[in-house]
Amino acid sequence: MNKVHNFSAGPAILPQSAIDASILALQNFSGTGLSLLEVSHRSKEYEAVVAEACQLVKDILKISNDYEVIFLQGGASLQFDMIPMNFLKPESSAAYVNTGVWAARAIKEAKMFGKVNVLASSEEKNYNFIPKDYTIPTDVNYYHCTSNNTIYGTEMFTFPNSPVPMICDMSSDIFSRPFDVTKFDMIYAGAQKNMGPAGATLVIIKKSFLEKANDNVPTMLNYKIHVENGSMYNTPSVFAIFVCMHTLRWIKSIGLEGMEVRNKAKADLLYAEIDRNPLFTGTVVKEDRSRMNVNFVLSDKALEAPFLKFCEERNLSGLKGHRSVGGLRASLYNALDIDSVQILVNTMQEFEKASTHAAVAN
* Active centre residues (catalytic): 102, 169, 193
Task: From 108-116, 124-132, 174-182, 342-350, give the range in contact with its own copies by CB under 8 A.
Answer: 108-116
The residue (of 112 and 261) whose beta carbon lies closer to its own copies is 112
Return the sign of the alpha-carbon dihedral for residues 192, 75, 173, 239: negative
The residue (of 248 and 279) whose beta carbon lies closer to its own copies is 248
Question: Which residues, 286 to 315, sit near its own copies by CB under 8 A?
Answer: 315
CB of 197 to its own copies, least distance (A): 4
Residues 6 or more apart whose CB falls under 8 angstroms from that of 218 comprise: 85
> Is residue 219 involved in binding its own copies (CB under 8 A)?
yes
Reported as half-sphere exposure (CB side, CA atoms, 13 A), residue 133 has a value of 2
Secondary structure of residue 2 in the 3-state scheme: coil
CB of 85 to its own copies, least distance (A): 8
Of residues 221, 254, 269, 338, which one binds its own copies by CB under 8 A?
A: 221
> Is residue 6 involved in binding its own copies (CB under 8 A)?
yes
Of residues 17, 30, 55, 77, which one binds its own copies by CB under 8 A?
A: 77
> Closest Cα to residue 42, out of 224, 244, 233, 247?
233
Question: Which residues, 87 to 106, sit near its own copies by CB under 8 A?
Answer: 105
Rg of the Cα atoms in the chain: 21
Sequential DSSP letters for 164-183: S-EEEE-TTTTTSS---GGG
The residue (of 94 and 279) whose beta carbon lies closer to its own copies is 94
Exposure class string for 101-132: b at 16+ Cβ within 10 A, else e? bbbbbbbebbeebbbbbbbbbbeeeebbbbbe
- Count the neighbouring beta carbons within 10 Å of the beta carbon of residue 214: 16
Count residues contacting its own copies (CB under 8 A)? 66
Of residues 118, 181, 198, 269, which one binds its own copies by CB under 8 A?
A: 198
CB of 53 to its own copies, least distance (A): 15
CB of 83 to its own copies, least distance (A): 11
End-to-end CA distance of the chain: 36
- Count the neighbouring beta carbons within 10 Å of the beta carbon of residue 361: 6
> Closest Cα to residue 172, out of 284, 6, 10?
10
Return the sign of the alpha-carbon dihedral for residues 352, 353, 359, 362: negative
> Is residue 10 involved in binding its own copies (CB under 8 A)?
yes
d(CA 178, CA 182): 12
CB of 6 to its own copies, least distance (A): 6
Of residues 22, 122, 141, 194, which one binds its own copies by CB under 8 A?
A: 22
Task: From 129-137, 178-186, 188-196, 348-356, give the range in contact with its own copies by CB under 8 A.
Answer: 188-196
Residues 6 or more apart whose CB falls under 8 angstroms from that of 1 comprise: none
CB of 274 to its own copies, least distance (A): 22
Q: Residues in the site for its own copies, rule: CB under 8 A?
A: 1-4, 6, 8-14, 18-19, 22-23, 26-28, 32-35, 37-42, 73-78, 80-81, 85, 105, 108-109, 112, 190, 192, 196-199, 216, 218-221, 233-240, 243, 315, 317-318, 323
